[in-house]
Amino acid sequence: MLLMAIDFDNLHQILRNLYEEMMPLCSQMTGVAKGIAGLGALFYVAYRVWQSLSRAEPVDVYPLLRPFVIGFCIMFFPTVVLGTINSVLSPVVTGTNGILQTQTLDMTRYREQKDRLELEAMKRNPETSYLVDKEEFDKKLDDLGITDAPEICGMYIDRAMYNTKKWFQELFRNLLELMFQAAALVIDTLRTFFLVVLSILGPISFAISVWDGFQATLTQWFVRYISIYLWLPVSDLFSSVLARIQLLMLQKDIEQLTDPNFIPDGSNAVYITFLIIGIIGYFTIPTVAGWIVQAGGGAGNYGKNVNQTASKTGSIAGGAAGAAVGNVAGRLIK
């Protein structure tokens, strides 16, 4: 079948090349983003300077640098922003892909060994040897006479049923493997599309974050980009876990097949079950990637809350200590 011959690795490589070729397009949004950011920076700086002057306070220059830093990021967005994030996260993708390739190669090797041992076990059994061995089938036919016509017909029927069963099992397994690979390709395609959109419109998001009330736009962009970027590593890890489970199953089957008295049943029910679980599980990958980013954000919020609590506690303690010192000093003066 043509669908079975699809090389999914090439399709994933095409998506990676597409992402790299679409990256220069984000520079076309730089002009619009600079205009939005420049106008926002004007209002941002003017409002804070006016507040300081109206209160007769010195102007704090440090917070006023924020729009200029964002403007610098917008001007060199493909290099400074996308280049930095991708350089930090790309080793994660490379590492998880290496784990997947190792597990896949081991699984292929063990599957070939299992098929060979299963064929040898079927040949050892006199009751099933004629089903898989043509020479044994012909030899058994030669031993039968004309009067054994019903038994000969039964042998042909058994062999045809066995071959049909194996054909359907192989077809169903190939179909599930195709769906398994297609699910991974769908996740990678959606990931590439979202990353391209976020990258092209990234300068606009940075420019909007300069305006008061939209500061969270910058954080949300980073959260979305990192979360979607992690879809591929999480997908590779998920595939690695499934491949490892199948590898352990194959090792157990090989241990059983090495026993001369073991008779295989030729069932792939457990293998097919894990393929179905994998197809369904692929669509939970975006949720898992979001959990990873939320876990990091939760840790940061927790640390922030701890610092705020410590500061409040320190202020309360300092106020209490100051009051105590004041009371003692007042008594001494009296």
According to the model, what pLDDT value does residue 297 have? Answer: 59
pLDDT band at 225 (very low <50, low <70, confident <90, very high): very high
Let me know if residue 326 belongs to a domain: no
Let me know if residue 208 belongs to a domain: yes
Q: What is the CA radius of gyration of the chain?
A: 34
| Biggest CA-to-CA distance, the chain | 133
| Angstrom distance (rounded) from CA 1 to CA 20 | 32
Let me know if residue 333 belongs to a domain: no
pLDDT: which is higher, 40 or 327:
40
pLDDT band at 36 (very low <50, low <70, confident <90, very high): confident
Let me know if residue 321 belongs to a domain: no
Instruction: Kindly report, residue by residue over 243-295, the tens digit of the pLDDT.
Output: 888 888 878 878 877 776 666 655 566 667 777 777 777 778 888 888 888 77
pTM: 0.72
Let me know if residue 289 belongs to a domain: yes
According to the model, what pLDDT value does residue 242 have? Answer: 83
According to the model, what pLDDT value does residue 302 have? Answer: 36
- In the block, which residue shows the tokens 């939209």? 214
| Domains identified in the chain, total number | 1
Q: Which domain holds residue 305?
A: 23-114+167-310
According to the model, what pLDDT value does residue 322 have? Answer: 39
Let me know if residue 262 belongs to a domain: yes
Most confident of 28-37, 72-81, 126-135, 295-304: 72-81
Let me know if residue 175 belongs to a domain: yes
Cβ-in-10-Å burial (0-12, 13-18, 19+) of 279 comes to middle
| Angstrom distance (rounded) from CA 196 to CA 191 | 9
Q: Which residues contact 117 (CB under 8 A, 6 or more apart)?
A: 254, 257, 258
Let me know if residue 129 belongs to a domain: no
**Among the listed residues 10, 15, 1, the one whose alpha carbon sits nearest the alpha carbon of residue 177:** 1
**Among the listed residues 269, 201, 286, 275, the one whose alpha carbon sits nearest the alpha carbon of residue 235:** 286
